[in-house]
Amino acid sequence: WGYSIATYTNNQLDILDYGIVQTKPSKTKDRQNIKDYLRCQHLYSHLLPLVKDIDRIVVELPTGSQASRAMVSYATCIAITACLSHANPNVHIVTPYQVKHIVDSSTASKDDVIDWVKHKHPNLNLPSKTKAEHICDSIVAIYAYLTQEDLLRKL
């Protein structure tokens, strides 16, 4: 789960912190549903302190998947986001389409998103590509939200 914490002043987004909350593969012989449950607990317990005192939370919610394991991730993301909204009701949702649109392509690849963020924020010291893609998704989600908010103000 990639996250980024930013401020937005004078039409400038400044990234203050970013990172990954990740789980490690379980080596236990527990059933898969128990492993999934423990992963959700881990993610929630590590994300909760990050969102308690944040002004706005922006989350890119997935739109679905055809693979059964990917659907578990889809459900996890939606459930954790819903739970986090009880700790901080200022949760704002953006779609993968909105995020890709910020990068100027409805078919933007992970590399396109990473390159876009690197261009906008060249001083970020991003980790390996696998981790960077999740962090960059969180940053571009903020831009998608800001664009959405700007459009709403113009209506």
* Whole-number Å distance between alpha carbons of 76 and 20: 16
- In the predicted structure, residue 67 carries a pLDDT above the cut 50: yes
Higher pLDDT, 108 or 7: 7
Residue with tokens 């103000």: 153
The pLDDT value recorded for residue 101 is 87
- Assess contact for 105 and 70: CB atoms under 8 A: no
